Amino acid sequence: MPEQRLVLASNNAGKIRELGDLLAPMHFLVEAQGDLGVPEAEEPAVTFVENALIKARNAASHTGLPALADDSGLAVDALDGAPGVQSARYAGDGASDADNVRHLLDAMAGIPEAGRSAQFHCVLVYLRHALDPTPIICHGVWAGRILTEPRGEGGFGYDPVFWVPGKDCSAAELARSEKSRISHRGKALEGLLGSLRGRATL
């Protein structure tokens, strides 16, 4: 089968790595939007699904290619779901992963272990073209707990402070393949690939 080009509507190197791994067995030639000159989209919405649609449509309209976007983040129960869709800019515009992690640990100072439950969410949107009226939309959730100090060198974002129950380590201490098997992103992509396989045309 010939390879179908697909633009990944993300500028996050960690996501691009993980999505690339997971898409490798499919007949896609995956290209990151940054390599195709796609300008970054604003993410003005209050839901992951709306932001993911905006990012996918932006990439599809600038390239004329099918596009896959990922809008994701961390929801902490003790913070009423924050940082949520603000996860990437929790410590302010242009914040680094380390800045955001520190801001989160400060916001949760003094909260005991039993009150530190949290979930990662990932919404993936696949558009065949910018005006595709039937996007594929998949949502994956990963439940865990927020540590009091970072642990591990792998992954990205909030992985060093996300404790994975059942694995007894942080998400940053998991092998990349193991994280992808159980993560919010891995689960969302599993759903997406199932929907794509059921379609006559990609």
Ligand X SMILES: O=c1nc[nH]c2c1ncn2[C@H]1C[C@H](O)[C@@H](COP(=O)(O)OP(=O)(O)OP(=O)(O)O)O1
The residue ranges that bind ligand X (CB under 6 A) are: 10-12, 15, 43, 70-74, 87-88, 100, 120, 155-159, 171, 183, 185
| Annotated binding residue 99 | no
CB under 5 to 8 A by kind: which of ligand X, Mg ion, none does 157 bind?
ligand X
The residues that bridge with 127 in the sheet, in sequence order, are 67
Judged by CB, which is closer to ligand X: 4, or 12?
Answer: 12
Whole-number Å distance between alpha carbons of 94 and 76: 22
Give the other-Cβ count within 10 Å of 18's Cβ: 23
Query: Closer CB to ligand X, residue 132 or residue 154?
Result: 154
Query: Looking at beta carbons only, is 74 or 196 nearer to ligand X?
Result: 74
Q: Is 71 a catalytic residue?
A: yes
**Shortest distance (Å) from residue 157 CB to Mg ion:** 11
- Which tokens go with 42? 């604003």
Is 169 buried (19+), middle (13-18) or exposed (0-12) by CB count in 10 A? middle
Nearest residue to ligand X, scored by beta-carbon proximity = 157
Among positive and negative, which fits the CA dihedral 96, 101, 107, 109?
negative
Burial grade of 103 (CB within 10 A; 0-12, 13-18, 19 or more)? middle
Pick 55 or 179: Cβ nearer Mg ion: 55
Amino acid identity at 46: V
Catalytic residue among 21, 35, 70, 71: 71
71 is in an annotated binding site: yes
* CA–CA gap between residue 179 and residue 133 (Å, rounded): 32
Binding string, 79-118, against Mg ion, x = CB under 5 A? ---------x------------------------------
Residues that bind Mg ion (CB under 5 A): 88
Where is the binding site for substrate, in residues? 10-15, 72, 156-159, 179, 184-185
Annotated catalytic residues are: 71
